[in-house]
Amino acid sequence: MWNIEEIKKDVRKNLKDYRYNHSINVMEEAKKLAIHYNANVEKAMLCGLTHDMCKEYTPLENEDFINKHNLSKELLLPENKNMVHGFLASIIVKEKYNFTNDMVLAIKYHTTGYPNMDMLAKIIYLADKIEKGKDYPLIEEERILAYKDIDKAIIFCLNNQIKHLKEKNKVINKMGYETLKFLEEHTMN
Ligand SMILES: [Fe+2]
């Protein structure tokens, strides 16, 4: 079984400095959120640390991985471009580090969330957005809301993400809309 220090070293090998720093920041933010919401701190930290471990794969490496693991070719479509690294990381953490299924799911969908997410997945989605190194419009509101009401924070972040992508003439993956719809229907005002 891999321990966190060994996984840190392994993740380090695949990432540029700034992205490794982001991963450490997400790990720390996920730890804080897990303590705040009484979730499993170790799982949150490990997911935060590894969520982006495949983000620097080249398009060719992505394709190769997808073929080798018999994953859906749809992952290579442009609309899935931002999600694919989470899918690939979710396979590695399961096969190599033996992460549990809840951890695998949190990593797989960390860019968009998914309907009916568990607390771990909510924590990883948010920690990735609000970690201390990030800076973009409305992030301070997101940071405050994250510790006040985690569902409302995710709704706020997804809307912010959608708006931001629209400004760049991009759209969020349809899973993002499904997460948003689910949370809006199941969250009390
Ligand atoms: Fe990230």
Residue 125 Cα to ligand 1 midpoint, Å, equals 9
Per-residue pLDDT reduced to its tens digit, 74-103: 999 998 999 999 999 999 999 999 999 999
Is pLDDT of 40 > 90? Answer: yes
Residue 187 Cα to ligand 1 midpoint, Å, equals 25
Q: What is the pLDDT of residue 189?
A: 66
Per-residue pLDDT averaged across 61-65, rounded?
Answer: 97
Is pLDDT of 1 > 90? Answer: no
Per-residue pLDDT reduced to its tens digit, 144-158: 999 999 999 999 999
Q: What is the pLDDT of residue 187?
A: 87
Residue 28 Cα to ligand 1 midpoint, Å, equals 13
For the chain, domain boundaries: 4-134
Q: State the alpha helices, DSSP H only, in 39-173.
A: 41-50, 59-68, 84-95, 101-108, 119-130, 139-146, 150-167
Phi/psi at 51 (5° precision): -55, -30
- For 4-134, CATH number? 1.10.3210.10
User: What does pTM read for this prediction?
Assistant: 0.96
Residue 131 Cα to ligand 1 midpoint, Å, equals 9
Residue 52 Cα to ligand 1 midpoint, Å, equals 5
Per-residue pLDDT reduced to its tens digit, 19-28: 999 999 999 9
- 137 vs 8, residue with greater confidence: 8
